[in-house]
Amino acid sequence: MTMTPDMILAALHQKLEETFPGETVYDNLTPRGFRRPSNLLELERTDLDPQSLGMAAVSLRYQYKITTFVETDEVHASHLPTLDIRGMMILGMLGSGYVKVGERALKVAACWADSSLYDAVEVHLTLSLTVDRADFQPAELLPIMQDLSTKTITSEEEL
């Protein structure tokens, strides 16, 4: 089975829903007027582990960013201690050292929280997956590319 970034995003989305029950998890963007408390999940980058180049198995790394938000007060200020706790909860959610996606388990290669923002905490997560080089060839990836579709939003109300 070929692993796609959207499959990983869906698994992380589910973990966030379990960690913060009843809260909205946004994938890739927050709409105008988004609700708080909530979380935003984004794929930041993918890369090949340079140590796996030329080997029979390729190590892929997926870097995601989880931004967590809390309710704000009357002057739109977030409660910083609550944000820090939410960041720690996300780190704890990843503390097992892996994220299960389908029948595979991606290794948590790195995970850290940036609390320097004043309105949110960003948790940066790097997941690693080793695949056979034969499964990572253009001929194997082409059917996935053919199945991708784009949804265009034409009305502000749908944002």
Summarize pLDDT for 19-53 with one digit per residue, the tens: 999 999 999 998 888 999 999 999 999 998 888 77
Instruction: Give the mean pLDDT of the chain.
Output: 86
Residue 43: per-residue pLDDT: 97
- The string of DSSP codes covering 84-109 is HHHHHHHHHHTTTSEEEETTEEEEEE
Q: For the segment 83-103, what is each residue's pLDDT rounded down to a tens digit? A: 999 999 999 999 999 999 999
Residue 93: per-residue pLDDT: 97
Residue 31: per-residue pLDDT: 87
Residue 140: per-residue pLDDT: 56
* Cis ω before 37 (30° cut-off from 0): yes
Examine the pLDDT at 136 and tell me if it is beyond 80.
no
Query: Which residue segments constitute the domains of the chain, with CATH numbers given?
Result: 5-158 (3.30.2000.10)
Q: Work out the number of other CB atoms within 10 angstroms of the CB of residue 125.
A: 25
Mean pLDDT across the stretch 56-61? 88
Q: Which pTM value belongs to this model?
A: 0.82
Residue 156: per-residue pLDDT: 57
Amino acid at 47: D
Residues ≥6 apart with Cβ < 8 Å to 67: 39, 40, 42, 120, 121, 122, 123
Report whether 57 contacts 129 (CB < 8 A).
no
Report whether 46 contacts 61 (CB < 8 A).
yes
Residue 15: per-residue pLDDT: 97
